[in-house]
Structure 1
């Protein structure tokens, strides 16, 4: 664990500090790029990993952030019912352009642009969850309630 944060992780820590909660980014020597890697590195269940997935809305071309439990796959047909349009896969350039972060370390907050956010209801069952913090080696711990508050996300079923 490092006390000096990389530039991207520091950007996330600065965004977290604005909310008034005691949320601390930690950078780890092991990868947290995937939900499984993160769970193995942290020592928690894969389902406690809050993975931030960016999609592109087909008609509006706007980004959509879905924060999913690490074991869940997004059912795009269900999401279409919530947002009223189909989803497309967002490529790395679209993700970077809209979030300011690279795939594999996308945090739930601190994005370059405002992004509509949906939160997987399965995350609500845990006392603590872990989210990426700007790099494939940085994470932070929080509660589902705090996640909902800081992202202003809507809690939905994603599967």
Structure 2
């Protein structure tokens, strides 16, 4: 089981920012620091003792028409179908690490679904709704937090969509 960091212990700066934001939102679950990296869904699931599907991974694209950031929060077991996403939000291209850091405010491997530095177009994978609880990155490759899929939808205001390759 992961080591839980209490409020008094220090978190990396970006994870502290997420913890403070979650607290301000009234979120009841703490940010948890994994002893090993949670950079990939498989690594996070192994560290948490949950299935890969219960990891809410954040995939960022660049909308080509206006350079907007498009984030898909998907089940860790799913591959995001770029064509399905593009049909909903417009033509897309891959987002590199610099684009993600500039537009979202987090480094790849720790991209949190909330607390972005700019406006982000978001979609939530409908497959996440089948779980009682999911885990999302909390701003750092070792930091995660748990929430219900309903809390994820409420916190982000993002529509739920079919975004997975099947």
* Common fold by TM > 0.5: yes
SS in 2 for 1:32: coil
Which piece of structure 1 moves more, 101-110 or 74-83?
A: 74-83
Q: TM-score, normalised by structure 1?
A: 0.96
Q: 1:139 aligned to 144, 148, 154, which one?
A: 144
CA–CA distance in 2 between the matches of 1:37 and 1:135?
14
Backbone CA RMSD of aligned residues? 0.9
Displacement over 4 Å in runs of 4+? none
Q: Is the 8 A contact 2:69 2:104 kept in 1?
A: no
Which piece of structure 1 moves more, 126-135 or 14-23?
A: 14-23
Q: Is the 8 A contact 2:29 2:145 kept in 1?
A: yes
> 1:78-110 CA distances to partner (integer Å, 9 max, x unpaired)?
112211x21110011100001111000000001
1:158 and 2:145 equivalent? no
Q: TM-score, normalised by structure 2?
A: 0.92
Partner of residue 154, structure 2: 149
Instruction: Describe how 1:104-123 pairs up with structure 2 within 5 A.
Output: 104-123=109-128
1:23 and 2:29 equivalent? yes
Deviation at 1:23, TM superposition (A): 2.6
1:95 and 2:97 equivalent? no
